[in-house]
Amino acid sequence: MQPSPATLEAHTREREQLLDAIRLVLVEELCKAEAPHHIDPDAALFGTGLGLDSIDAVDFVVSVEAVTTVRLPDDWTGRVALRSLNSLVDFVLQARRGARA
Q: Could you tell me the CATH number of the domain that includes residue 71?
A: 1.10.1200.10
- Residues 24 and 29: their CA atoms lie apart, in Å, by 8
Instruction: Summarize pLDDT for 6-60 with one digit per residue, the tens.
Output: 888 998 999 999 999 999 999 998 877 678 888 999 999 998 889 999 999 999 9
- Residues making up the chain, counted from first to last: 101
What's the pTM value of the predicted model, to 2 decimals?
Answer: 0.88
Domain tally, the chain: 1
- Residues 88 and 90: their CA atoms lie apart, in Å, by 5
Other CB atoms within 10 A of residue 94 CB: 12
- What are the residues facing 46 on neighbouring strands? 52
Q: What is the pLDDT of residue 99?
A: 74
Give the domain range for residue 64: 5-100
> Tell me, what DSSP letter sits at residue 82?
T
Instruction: Summarize pLDDT for 62-74 with one digit per residue, the tens.
Output: 999 999 999 999 9
